[in-house]
Amino acid sequence: MKRSSLALLTSLFFAPVAAYAQSVARVKQIATPRTMIETEVPDEMTLAVRSMMALQRLEKDVFVYRSLGAFEAKGKLARVSYEVFRKDLNEVSAEVEPMLARLPEGRLKTELSNALASYRDGEFWWQQIDRPRVVHVSALTSTQSSRTPSDTAFADTVPYTVTIHWRQANRYLRRAEQLIHAANRAPLNGTPTSLSAVRAHPARIQPAPQAPLN
């Protein structure tokens, strides 16, 4: 009698424990793939958002004109000096390039890469016309007298080229922002949308209209 009672108590005690252990094991098996999915998506999104925010620091340095008349009326390329912009560009490039290298190939990476390239192109052309604020009078006179009409015409067109590159960078950043927003707000099958899912559904992206620079 005692043995049967002991066997009954043992079964009543250990059976729930075993069932609980099996349930926990099943929960872990189910939760693991979901956890992997949820951690994979923020990795891509975090890299993309951080890249865009870094590039937006350069956007704050420059003026983005919507028309040729607006540029000619103001006549300024940036809110900062060329030296400051070059320093900011070097810092942003060092921060963004490793993140872009980790992003999967697709439209978002292309837009962010094009934005960085546009800022670099703008800096290159800006450097062609940048002059120190303080120069020796004889050196300034020599430089002015040695310039040909073609040199003068070239120098006059460079600011417009710089402005176009700023505008292109702004356009690429706006497209990247749309892609990120689309990935965040458009779930597929009740799960977070990854960047690869957005690339597979380009119809979700509505490009923003751009006014011509004229």
| 42-96 tens-digit pLDDT | 488 999 999 999 999 999 999 999 998 999 999 999 999 999 999 999 999 999 9
Cβ–Cβ contacts within 10 Å for residue 129, how many?
A: 16
- The percentage of residues in the chain with a pLDDT greater than 90, rounded to a whole number, is 50
Q: Please write the tens of the pLDDT for every residue from 161-183.
A: 999 999 999 999 999 999 999 98
Confidence of residue 125 (pLDDT cuts 50, 70, 90): very high
Ordered by start, the domain boundaries in the chain are 37-204
Confidence of residue 39 (pLDDT cuts 50, 70, 90): very low
Q: Tell me 67's DSSP state.
A: S
Please tell me which residue, 189 or 148, carries the higher pLDDT value.
Answer: 148
As a whole number of angstroms, the distance between CA 171 and CA 35 comes to 35
* The pLDDT value given to residue 9: 39
* The pLDDT value given to residue 43: 85
In whole numbers, what is the pLDDT of the chain averaged over residues? Answer: 73
In the predicted structure, residue 103 carries a pLDDT above the cut 80: yes
Residue written as tokens 């002991």? 6
* The pLDDT value given to residue 176: 97
As a whole number of angstroms, the distance between CA 122 and CA 63 comes to 12
